[in-house]
Amino acid sequence: MRSRLRSLIAVSLIALGASGCSTLTGSDLAVGVNGQGVTTEEADALLAEYFAESEIFGTTPLDAGGFGDADRARLILNALVRSSAVASLLALSGDEITDADLDLYFSTVPSESPLNELSDEMRRLIATTSTEVLLSALSRVELPTAEELEATYSEQPSATGMLCLRHILVATEEEANDVVASLEDGVDFVTIATQVSLEGSAALTGGALTGTESECLPTAQYISNFDPDFVAAAFEAPATTWSEPVKTQFGWHVILNRPWAEIGDDVVAAYSSPDGALFYVDAVLNSADVTVDSRFGRWNPSSGRIVPLG
């Protein structure tokens, strides 16, 4: 049972991504999103318990030098960032995750499970990795209207939690600069993508990166499945024009955030779906004031994790 629980907890935490590690001292909030988060004392206690309960979590016990296995600590820290984002959304309506929300997870835990040996704080953090718990709590959050989503997209597309892109892939920087020059001369992006992009489907799609049923993809999907350099450039691409050339392992790209008139209905439809509230959480993580103790590092939206300073 312990090994099975260890695997389940690891999967839940890994699903929230990676972050950084260190002890937490000297700040009111060790991890915070728009003022909601965990204090230094709370974070210290969670990390200490995580490594002390090595039979449950598969971690290395603490030593005098710190929190042991840094890679495993990153799972807890990233979970704290995401749970703080959820708390920040609920706080807007004076709400919080309730016992009824948490019971959707706890009711599935057998009485003999080692999970019941953990602190209430750790059990709560693990429960908040459950999609059922999150959707229950976030059902009480007012989602953005179509007008608000359009306004957000026009300023920072990734702040909707989705990206609706076209791109042109070429082999060299010189060719990428030629693409930009043609765009500046007024040549249509789709026309160039159809004619010169090395992406196999560009002749049919005009360089559009789409889902099976949507013109857009969640930013979480980009972070998980796309080249990190491409994702970073996509997050930084202007809302109303194309990006500068960016190099990835596949070549050189020019990226375009598509006009709202082309993709607005798809963004609104995503927020109207059963998982719409989860896009809102990603939107917050892409654009909010995420504070992290400097000894952890800093929050990097395009990688969905805390990264070292520098």
What is the predicted pLDDT for the residue at 62?
A: 57
Give the mean pLDDT of the chain. Answer: 87
What is the predicted pLDDT for the residue at 258?
A: 97
Does residue 69 carry a pLDDT above 90? no
Q: Which of the listed ranges 49-63, 76-90, 147-161, 283-297 does the model predict with the highest average pLDDT?
A: 147-161
What is the predicted pLDDT for the residue at 77?
A: 85
What is the predicted pLDDT for the residue at 56?
A: 87
Instruction: Please give the model's pTM, rounded to 2 decimal places.
Output: 0.85
Percentage of the chain exceeding pLDDT 70: 86
Does residue 168 carry a pLDDT above 60? yes
Does residue 19 carry a pLDDT above 90? no
Q: Which of 85, 139, 14, 119 is nearest to 281 (CA)?
A: 85
What is the predicted pLDDT for the residue at 230?
A: 97
Q: Are 118 and 53 within 8 A, CB to CB?
A: yes
Q: Where are the alpha helices (DSSP H) in the chain?
A: 2-14, 40-52, 54-57, 70-91, 99-106, 120-127, 131-138, 146-155, 173-184, 189-196, 202-205, 219-225, 228-236, 260-272, 276-287
For residue 218, the cross-strand partners are 162
Does residue 14 carry a pLDDT above 80? no
* Lowest-confidence pick of 22-36, 111-125, 127-141, 227-241: 22-36
* Lowest-confidence pick of 14-28, 114-128, 139-153: 14-28
The mean pLDDT of 97-115, rounded to a whole number, is: 95
Q: Are 168 and 268 within 8 A, CB to CB?
A: no
Contacts of 164 (CB under 8 A, 6+ apart): 157, 215, 216, 217, 257, 258, 262, 263, 266, 267
* pLDDT: which is higher, 257 or 27: 257
Return the DSSP state at 143: P
What SS3 class is residue 195?
A: helix
What is the predicted pLDDT for the residue at 61?
A: 64
Q: What tokens does 301 get? A: 């939206």
Does residue 221 carry a pLDDT above 80? yes
Give the torsion through C-alpha atoms of 72, 77, 78, 82, to 10 deg: 150
Which pLDDT band holds residue 23 (cuts at 50, 70, 90)? very low
Q: How far apart (Å, rounded) are the C-alpha atoms in residues 8 and 216?
A: 31
Q: How far apart (Å, rounded) are the C-alpha atoms in residues 192 and 202?
A: 10
Does residue 252 carry a pLDDT above 60? yes
The mean pLDDT of 257-267, rounded to a whole number, is: 97
What is the predicted pLDDT for the residue at 70?
A: 61
Does residue 53 carry a pLDDT above 60? yes
> Domains in the chain and their CATH numbers?
2-143+281-307 (no CATH), 165-257 (3.10.50.40)
